[in-house]
């Protein structure tokens, strides 16, 4: 396990648009952020060797960019104990919720907050970077990941904000570098503008191939999918998510 990412200071940080904190974080989750998060955080002031980041060797490695409340990351990491997952999220409330999910520590059921461990049945296969993922890119070597998840990113639907959308040529160049040949970039969205944006932008990138053979391949979630909190909200409000998968050529 490594030191907290908060130790790294970079003078030329890219401008970040989005929330970093929401409602007041209560006692148990605040303690998780202070005491347990540093044990899982990646240190980006040096090159990261993923094989050295986990307490046991992993067969594969995956990256989830913007894991939200952590429900997808917690579930898929538990179902794939031989995969090492790196989760990135700047929203402190979301990071705190992920820590609660993987430790089982919740408000009202905390016992000894000085002796927190992963919940029973869960292996040590999640590492966290709690800042802008673009600051993590430089610390990661080429061909780091077998899969990258970008699930329900902010669509920034206004035309004047289009340059804020995560799917853009600069970020895709980094994702192509980080993905192993044959690796998968999975993008989920429920927003019509972002759907069209992804299709147009990805079609121009020669590093990726859309894997869909028919409409069911992108209208239905993948077989290993775990529903997210945001996805449930979208469905309640009548928005149909789509699931794009692109293979690294």
Active site residues: 154
Helix axes 192-203, 169-178, angle to 10 degrees: 70
- Checking phi first, is residue 121 left (phi over 0); if not, alpha (psi -120 to 50) or beta? left
Q: Determine the Cα–Cα distance for residues 15 and 96; give it in Å rounded to an integer.
A: 23
Q: Determine the Cα–Cα distance for residues 44 and 236; give it in Å rounded to an integer.
A: 39
Residue pair 65/130 in contact (Cβ under 8 Å)? The answer is: no
Residue pair 102/61 in contact (Cβ under 8 Å)? The answer is: no
Q: Determine the Cα–Cα distance for residues 30 and 100; give it in Å rounded to an integer.
A: 10
């Amino acid at each position: 396990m490594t030191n907290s990412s908060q130790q790294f200071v970079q003078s030329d940080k890219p401008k970040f648009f989005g929330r970093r904190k929401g409602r007041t974080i209560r006692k148990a989750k605040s303690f998780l952020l202070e005491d347990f998060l540093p044990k899982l955080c990646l240190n980006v002031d040096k090159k990261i060797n993923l094989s050295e980041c986990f307490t046991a060797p992993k067969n594969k490695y995956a990256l989830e960019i913007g894991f939200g409340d952590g429900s997808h990351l917690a579930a898929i990491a538990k179902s794939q104990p031989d995969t090492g997952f790196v989760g990135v999220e700047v929203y402190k409330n979301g990071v705190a919720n992920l820590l609660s999910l993987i430790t089982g520590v919740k408000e009202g059921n905390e016992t000894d907050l000085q002796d927190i461990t992963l919940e029973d049945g869960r292996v040590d296969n999640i590492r966290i970077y709690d800042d802008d993922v673009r600051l993590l890119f430089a610390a990661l070597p080429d061909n780091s990941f077998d899969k990258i998840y970008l699930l329900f990113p902010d669509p920034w639907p206004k035309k004047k904000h289009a340059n804020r959308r995560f799917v853009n040529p600069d970020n895709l160049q980094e994702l192509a570098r980080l993905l192993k040949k044959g690796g998968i970039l999975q993008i989920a969205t429920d927003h019509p503008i972002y759907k069209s944006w992804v299709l147009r932008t990805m079609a121009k990138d020669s590093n990726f191939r859309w894997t869909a053979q028919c409409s069911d391949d992108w209208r239905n979630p993948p077989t290993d999918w775990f529903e997210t909190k945001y996805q449930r909200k979208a469905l309640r409000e009548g928005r149909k998510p789509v699931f794009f998968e692109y293979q690294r050529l």
